[in-house]
Copies of this chain bind each other. A is one copy, B any other.
Amino acid sequence: MIETEARKKAATRTARLDAVFAALADPTRRAIIERLSRSEARVTEIAEPFQMSLNAVSKHIRVLEASGVVERHRKGRDHILSINTGSLDEVDGWIERMRHFWDARLDAMERLLVELKQDPKSSHKDRKHGSR
């Protein structure tokens, strides 16, 4: 039971990562996020700078809402969009984890290079040279 719960959670997290990365893989959607990062806005305000139909912009907004990056609430007759500031945490965490691995490997390579520099003979032990 607990295992099933854990697996369900992992599946949800995977689906969320998929959705957020896919949402960010489009320049219009990234521009909408940048716009909303400055302040919340109405759908029509967001659409204004783009040379595309309101319908096309709305489609992008729906992808952003489905991914959880953008939220919508109503103020009277207006639909107001805003950023869900916690939504990039998982994506950020994933990139952070990869970097951690890479840094560890780069550090190890650096140590190896320093060692080789201090004792260059150790790098070609089995080569015989200058003894002819």
- A25, CB-defined interface residue at 8 Å: yes
A88 lies within 8 A of B95 (CB): yes
Q: Which residue of B lies closest to A88 (CB)?
A: B95
- A50, CB-defined interface residue at 8 Å: no
- Given the complex, which residues of B lie within 8 Å of A21, measured CB to CB? 21-22, 24-25
Whether A37 touches B101, Cβ cut-off 8 Å, given contacts A21-B25, A22-B25, A106-B85, is yes
Chain A interface bracket (under 10, 10 to 19, 20 to 34, 35 or more): 20 to 34
- Given the complex, which residues of B lie within 8 Å of A94, measured CB to CB? 24, 30
- A38, CB-defined interface residue at 8 Å: yes
- Of residues 1 to 31 in A, which have CB atoms within 8 Å of B's CB atoms? 14, 17-19, 21-22, 24-27, 30
- A47, CB-defined interface residue at 8 Å: no
Residue among A26, A27, A101 with the most chain B CB within 10 A?
A: A101
- Point out residues on A near B: beta carbons under 8 Å: 14, 17-19, 21-22, 24-27, 30, 33-34, 37-39, 83, 85, 88, 91-92, 94-95, 98-99, 101-102, 105-106
